[in-house]
Amino acid sequence: MNRFIIAATASMLATAAFADGHGGVTEEMLANDTASTGDVLTNGMGRHLQRHSPLEILNKENVKNLVPAWAFSLGGEKQRGQETQPIVHDGVMYITGSYSRMYAIDIKTGQELWQYDARLPEGILPCCDVVNRGAAIYGENIYFGTLDARIVALNQKTGDVVWNKKIADYKAGYSYTAAPLIVNGLIITGNSGGEFGIVGEVQARSAETGDIVWTRPVIEGHMGTLNGEESTMTGTLNATWPGDMWKTGGGATWLGGSYDADTDTLVFGTGNPAPWNSHLRNAGAPTEGNVGDNLYAASRLGIDPATGEIKWHYQTTPREGWDYDGVNEVVAYEDRSGNKRYATADRNGFFYVLNREDGAFVSAVPFVKDITWAEGIDDTGRPIFAEDNRPGDPSAAADGKKGEVVFSSPSFLGGKNWMPMAHSPKTGLFYVPSNEWGMDIWNEPITYKKGAAYLGSGFTIKPNYDDHIGSLKAIDPDTGETKWEFKNNAPLWGGVMTTAGGLVFTGTPEGEFIAFDDETGEQLWSFQTGSGVIGQPITWEQDGEQYVTVISGWGGAVPLWGGEVAKKVNYLNQGGLLWTFRLPAQLAAN
């Protein structure tokens, strides 16, 4: 056996023994999260990220009786966007808040037990608001990342720091906003900062000590590490990148990953290549083979959790030139024929189905209207580019300062951005929060400077339709058909959850938290939360009653980057309020 694999296996076994030896949350508990209805231990309500609960105490007939149980204010002046997904364990709820804060809350009363504030340094460079998307739990610790690109382990009972480790240099543009992932005693993290010429990477650490076990850069030419030694190069140097551009190639792994236990595979998405100006990356004209594709940016990667080696890759947007990050979540599921599949709704506007054994392309269909950058996806899974819709080369312009302006749809904020979709094994459908918008976009000259924005593009986002931007769609992955659609005036920016009771939950920037019929899309219940819902709902069972929780607090990328769209929603109020609802036992039969 390879000595790297032997060392990695020993490290994983020792780390896994940490949880078993100290009590608390174990690998077995994480693996059983979806079926265990009394808690929520993973981001995604299962590491496959289906965001589905088997609970059916709350259902289509009685959801009208869902009422507030308690609310918790994040307090102070630190508001902005609230995108967290709560974790629930042993009578305590853990949430993260904007500006890298964490709270422990009694789930019966809503009373704060402790609060941790990361005390961020001056000079942090978050791209898209000061958000945080949640925590991970293992052993007796709770873990979360901070905007200055660190990962922190806190004691679950006290909030005291157990360890605090640096992921990357925030002064170079790195940050961290995703919920970490725990697999076999390793805490797995990505990084943020794709607009600053950073290099995307996945890191695995011992959950007990925080020490790095392996690293895997996701841009060709960079070396991975295993137990402190160089392991293998990612890809082949200069195979798809010109000159030294791979050194600042982007590909941020900013949304984190999922874990497919059936194939023992981590699945991570990678962001846009840097800079946005594709002509500088030799991607401005048709190419031979994959030269100019800029691997492994705008891709999905299957990674060995023991060693960090890349098992497979699928690039959703080769020759990327519109900021169509490939980070959107990859959900493991079984189709109606029993085939093991992955599904992912890409920022580029296409909904993809991949094979779980090797990440091979199965199918792709548009899930938003008016896609302009490609005419479709061919039988190999490669886009059929609409070459006239690539932003122009500024070097070909008369003044050399601004390339030809084109209108592209979807906008760079994507047909779907970070907000997680949900799957229902009951209906077989995926429920995808999407947006119908486009942009005027053009390229500009740019050179890399550490810690400075590295775009080489300008843009203005515009709504595609007068009556809506947001669109929650129920998509059949077997046929590509949209079964129903809910249209919303403002962009949808929050997560979705399904239940065995036949319900689909999500929220709107206007503050409505809504339950839909999973088969018809009929609105069965709603509650006005007082601010925009861009968080991720969860549900659990307590004392025989079903509870639902979501955070309310408008913010995120839309107010910062949304152009004309941002002006359309500038009346929306910020907030920071965690709402928990319950179905009283005496009303469950009604």
Binding site listing for pyrroloquinoline quinone: 83, 133, 177, 417-418
335 is catalytic: no
Q: Which among 230, 136, 253, 225 is positioned nearest to 186, based on CA atoms?
A: 136
Select which of 260, 323, 325, 518 is catalytic: 323
Given a contact cutoff of 8 angstroms between Cβ atoms, the answer to whether 110 and 103 are in contact is no
**CA pair distance 265, 183, nearest whole angstrom:** 10
Using DSSP bridges, classify how beta strands 503-507 and 497-499 pair: parallel, antiparallel or unpaired: antiparallel
Binding-site residue numbers for Ca(2+) are 195, 272, 323
List 227's β-bridge partners, or say none: none
**CA pair distance 411, 441, nearest whole angstrom:** 9
Backbone angles phi, psi at 445, to 5 degrees: -65, 150
- For residue 9, with 0-12 CB atoms within 10 Å meaning exposed, 13-18 middle and 19 or more buried, which class applies? middle
Percentages helix, strand, coil for the chain (3-state, rounded to 5) are 10, 35, 55
Binding-site residue numbers are 83, 133, 177, 195, 272, 323, 417-418
The type of residue at 326 is G
Positive or negative: CA dihedral 171, 172, 173, 178:
negative
Q: Which among 537, 546, 447 is positioned nearest to 84, based on CA atoms?
A: 537
Neighbouring CB atoms inside 10 A of 400's CB total 12
Given a contact cutoff of 8 angstroms between Cβ atoms, the answer to whether 468 and 24 are in contact is no
The two tokens of residue 59 are 């259902």
Place of tokens 């806190």: 154
The two tokens of residue 409 are 């749809």
Q: String of b and e for 482-493 (b: at least 16 CB within 10 Å)? A: bbbebebebbbb
Angle at 79 between CA 113 and CA 189, to 5 degrees: 75
**CA pair distance 368, 452, nearest whole angstrom:** 33
Task: List residues with catalytic annotation.
Answer: 323
